[in-house]
Amino acid sequence: MTEVVIKAPKISPEEYKKYRGKNVAIYRNKIIAEGNNSNEALQKALQKHPKLKPERIEIYYIQIADELIL
């Protein structure tokens, strides 16, 4: 059995505040585009960087809240 480890991207507090509630496209640990959904973020990233292959771009959703209060 193989274990899969997924590392979360390193996002600064400023980037977190700017992009929360959005999907971001990340390439080489840099946010290169954002969108309201993952498809929009990917399309914007490919428009800005047409030579990139889609499989090289990571898409993440930045949560709106830091914590959940019950």
Per-residue pLDDT tens over the stretch 40-69: 999 999 999 999 999 999 999 998 876 666
> Could you report the per-residue pLDDT of 2-29, keeping only the tens digit for each?
787 767 778 898 999 999 999 999 999 9
Q: In 32-69, which positions are buried (b, 16+ CB within 10 angstroms) versus exposed (e)? A: bbbbeeeeebbebbbeeeeeeeeeebbbbebeeeeeee
Is residue 70 scored above 80 in pLDDT?
Answer: no
The pLDDT of 28-39, averaged and rounded, is 96
